[in-house]
Amino acid sequence: MKYENAKDILPASLLEEVQKYAEGKVIYIPKCTKTRGWGEASGYREKLNKRNSLICNRYSAGRSILEIAEEFYLSPETVKKIVYGNKVNLPEFSASITSADHYAKSGLGEEWVRTYLTTLGKDMPDSTEYFMSELARIPLRLISDSIKSDENMEINERGFHDVPLIVKYENNKFSVDYQQEYLRFLLNAKMNSHYAFVFARNEEYNHFQNNYGKHFQR
């Protein structure tokens, strides 16, 4: 490495400051930290990666290229490049707590719920009306009263997988609209708690979080 005389490089005022700490010494001045890549400083790249993850997930769930293009205001060719490019490290979807946890840790918990409800032929709770909680264990006693009475309902244990519950919180009450039979199965199995995503109405979210949410097990 070739050494340079600081007197030939540094301004006189800066040289005087350096001499206070290292006069007569040979020092190495490292390069500046690597410049951030495009979009990293503004956070745009992260948003773009998340959008692409959503697009890939929609496609793997059976949505057509044209449907996805219309939803995200993109050209079909752009959507094809995203879903065929294999550049997105998307968690593998399955109707399981493990898959839901992987999605949640990637910041895509809402996408897992959307995909899961699609397999049931159900719509996602309106995001303009509800806040969605993180994936957490919820005491089943809080929602046991929400089971509709049906003495003729048969429980087929083979039809169940270890999936999170999709719970709503409104009017200070918890309810399960999509998985009544599943909840009944869990209660019959004497389960005290189970993993769930909770959708609380916007105006009740603070009450839910202060009284319940912060006490749920992660």
Is the pLDDT at 134 greater than 60? The verdict is yes
| pLDDT digit string, tens, across residues 159-212 | 556 899 999 999 999 999 889 889 988 988 899 999 999 999 989 988 888 888
Q: Give the residue with greater pLDDT, 13 vs 128.
A: 128
Is 138 within 8 Å of 72 (Cβ atoms)?
Answer: no
**Average of per-residue pLDDT values in the chain:** 80
Asked whether the predicted pLDDT for residue 11 surpasses 90, the reply is: no
pLDDT at 8 over 60: yes
Q: Amino acid identity, residue 52?
A: N
Pairing of strands 193-201, 165-170: parallel
**At 215, is the pLDDT very low, low, confident or very high (cuts 50, 70, 90)?**
confident
Tokens of 107: 């910041």
Q: What is the pLDDT of residue 167?
A: 95
Res 217: pLDDT: 72
- How many CB atoms are closer than 10 A to CB 198? 27
- pLDDT for residue 154 is more than 60: no
Tokens of 189: 């199995």
Out of 81-85, 87-91, 121-125, 191-195, least confident range: 87-91
Is the CB of residue 113 less than 8 Å from the CB of residue 178? no
User: Does the pLDDT at position 105 exceed 50?
Assistant: yes
pLDDT at 36: 46
Q: What is the mean pLDDT of residues 132-155?
A: 75
CATH topology of domain 106-149+159-218: 3.90.1530
Q: What is the per-residue pLDDT for 37? A: 45
Please report which helix (H) or strand (E) contains residue 136, including its range: strand 136-139
Low-confidence winner among 22-26, 118-122, 194-198 (lowest mean pLDDT): 22-26
In terms of Cβ atoms closer than 10 Å to its own Cβ (0-12, 13-18, 19+), residue 180 is middle
Domain boundaries, the chain: 46-90, 106-149+159-218
Rounded to an integer, what distance in angstroms lies between the CA atom of residue 93 and that of residue 110?
13
Q: SS3 of 138, please?
A: strand
pLDDT at 38: 35
Handedness of CA 19, 21, 24, 30 (dihedral sign): negative
Please report the DSSP string for 154-208 in residue order: ---GGG--S--EEEEEETTEEE-SS-HHHHHHHHHTT-SEEEEEEEEEGGGHHHH
pLDDT per residue over 29-79, tens digit each? Answer: 766 555 444 344 556 677 878 888 888 888 888 888 888 888 888 878 778
Confidence of residue 97 (pLDDT cuts 50, 70, 90): very high
Per-residue pLDDT at 53:
84
pLDDT on residue 39 = 42
